[in-house]
Amino acid sequence: MHQCFYLDGEHYTSLNRLVKGKLSAPNDILILVKKTSIYIHIPFCERRCRYCDFNTYSGIDYLMQDYVKAVCREIKWMGSYCPEDVLIHTIYFGGGTPSLLSIELSEQILNQIHQNFHLASPPEITLEANPGTIDFEKIKGYYQLGVNRLSLGAQSFNDQELKLLGRIHNIQQIIEGVELARRAGFSQINLDLMFGLPDQSINDWEKTLFAALQLDVEHLSLYGLTIEPGTVFGEWLKKGKISDIDDDLAADCYELACDLLDQNHYEHYEISNWAKRDTEGNLLTCRHNLQYWKNLPYFGFGAGAHGFFNNMRIANVYHPDVYIKKINQGYPLEFPLSPATIESHYVTKSEEMNDTLMLGLRLLIEGVGVNDFYQRFGKDLTLIFGDKIQELINKGLLEWVEAEQKRLRLTPRAYLLGNVVFREFV
């Protein structure tokens, strides 16, 4: 057995490279230094929701087997070029509707990751599920594969709202989904909820929040609806069939959520995300999303997936059909590009510093640490962005906090004005 140690003192074991015959001596010790994440895009949905502008499709389930094969090829391709010092510590099945994948197909993807990358022991593995597509056998199957975090797209606890949104599930299925997940063994469950829906009153939203609180899940993600062109809601808005978002009401909904969740022991750790603590005091955040917010590396596999590795931002071709063809025709490209890459961009140090600050400020408790920034870039945050930071402090939007290190973060006043702050660092 090979032992792997991560330099920050966390300890992992990994046998994966043995399978590939990459290690020669039985007592090799690997030093793993680059914590990295994997995102897998599953672009299938039973039916398109009326507000959805994600890269997802209904009526193409016949592609699913070939799609998974192509994803597996892409994983293998990337794994074969991936440096030895990369440790995968989070995996995220997003979509689309990953819970449309059978256990067998999900297993094929996870096996491919196990065989081609070093994995933390255990990695956080999240799967997004639509409450209208799950039963106990499926949920248990995912859990047995190592999926240890379930994210349920609940969106609302009002059946009329769910219908208006075009969701395929009802309230009862959300409640049952959480119960099934608990029975299967999940101790980390997230619910996605949306506010600012057409004709939604603050009381409607409050009822949704109360219903979600009843389920006592570990994590809540709350998003304000946006109406995008090209969606059914976009068309309806043009025709006057629905009213436009009321920004003031949406702001009231957000503030109500901040108060209610705070009273119910959820900590507001990111602009749209709240988490509880476990019995040992650990905040049950989504570690995968923290990787994005900390501007750290990740691979993206599948149609339209994005990646960030070796200072390259990469995007794959959107349509699953084209994705499959491109992967199958695969030709040698320079790592970390894949045969399905349609866009890549080299991130300069100065862009990386801007991104790190802009994304890090989304973290409301942690913010951006001066020491962390210095360790990463060898530069003093206050010297690089001093004037802009001071300007935003004067406006009451940023503040310094002194914990174990000096940190810059948003003031509560800025939670709703995040974009005003982020724009300064673009």
Pairing label, strands 398-402, 34-42: unpaired
Q: Which of 38, 42, 52, 91 binds ligand SF4 (CB under 6 A)?
A: 52
Task: Convert 380-397 to b/e letters by CB count within 10 Å (16 or more is b).
Answer: ebeebbeeebeebeeeeb
Least distance in Å: CB of 416 to ligand SF4? 24
In the bound state with ligand SF4, the residue whose beta carbon lies nearer, of 195 and 425, is 195
Degrees (nearest 5) of the Cα angle 63, 65, 67?
Answer: 65
d(C-alpha 341, C-alpha 231), whole Å: 26
Q: Which of 5, 28, 33, 54 binds ligand SF4 (CB under 6 A)?
A: 54
Span 339-358, contacts to ligand SF4 by CB under 6 A: none
Give the 3-state secondary structure of residue 256.
helix
In the bound state with ligand SF4, the residue whose beta carbon lies nearer, of 233 and 298, is 233
d(C-alpha 335, C-alpha 78), whole Å: 7
User: Which window, 48-56, 266-274, 396-404, 413-421, contacts ligand SF4 (CB under 6 A)?
Assistant: 48-56
Least distance in Å: CB of 145 to ligand SF4? 22
- Identify the residue whose tokens are 């304000």: 224
Q: Which of 79, 96, 196, 336 binds ligand SF4 (CB under 6 A)?
A: 96
**CA-only gyration radius of the chain, Å:** 22
CA distances from 371 to 231, 353, 365 (A): 44, 14, 16
In the bound state with ligand SF4, the residue whose beta carbon lies nearer, of 130 and 272, is 130
Give the interface size with ligand SF4 as a residue count (CB under 6 A): 11
d(C-alpha 325, C-alpha 338), whole Å: 13
Under the criterion CB under 6 A, does residue 48 sit at the interface with ligand SF4? Answer: yes
Q: Which of 40, 49, 75, 105 binds ligand SF4 (CB under 6 A)?
A: 49
User: Which window, 52-60, 211-219, 285-293, 357-365, contacts ligand SF4 (CB under 6 A)?
Assistant: 52-60
Least distance in Å: CB of 52 to ligand SF4? 3
Give the 3-state secondary structure of residue 4.
strand
Two tokens at 163?
A: 């219908």
Least distance in Å: CB of 335 to ligand SF4? 30
Beta bridge partners of 86: 34
CA distances from 341 to 151, 324, 336, 345 (A): 28, 12, 9, 11
Annotate each residue in 222-261 with x if it binds ligand SF4 (CB under 6 A) or - if it does not, as one string: ----------------------------------------
d(C-alpha 56, C-alpha 305), whole Å: 11
In the bound state with ligand SF4, the residue whose beta carbon lies nearer, of 82 and 222, is 222
Contact assessment for residue 94 and residue 42, using Cβ atoms and an 8 Å cutoff: yes
DSSP, res 63: G
Under the criterion CB under 6 A, does residue 45 sit at the interface with ligand SF4? Answer: yes
In the bound state with ligand SF4, the residue whose beta carbon lies nearer, of 96 and 360, is 96
User: Which window, 93-101, 203-211, 355-363, 385-393, contacts ligand SF4 (CB under 6 A)?
Assistant: 93-101
Under the criterion CB under 6 A, does residue 335 sit at the interface with ligand SF4? Answer: no
Beta bridge partners of 3: 13, 29
How many other CB atoms are there within 10 angstroms of residue 138's CB atom?
19
User: Which window, 90-98, 108-116, 280-288, 368-376, contacts ligand SF4 (CB under 6 A)?
Assistant: 90-98
In the bound state with ligand SF4, the residue whose beta carbon lies nearer, of 45 and 87, is 45
Under the criterion CB under 6 A, does residue 95 sit at the interface with ligand SF4? Answer: yes
- What values do phi and psi take at 394, rounded to 5? -60, -30
Contact assessment for residue 121 and residue 14, using Cβ atoms and an 8 Å cutoff: yes
Span 56-75, contacts to ligand SF4 by CB under 6 A: 56
In the bound state with ligand SF4, the residue whose beta carbon lies nearer, of 56 and 112, is 56
Span 117-156, contacts to ligand SF4 by CB under 6 A: 130, 153
In the bound state with ligand SF4, the residue whose beta carbon lies nearer, of 153 and 367, is 153
- Identify the residue whose tokens are 């996605």: 192
Query: Binding residues for ligand SF4, per CB under 6 A?
Result: 45, 48-49, 52, 54, 56, 95-97, 130, 153
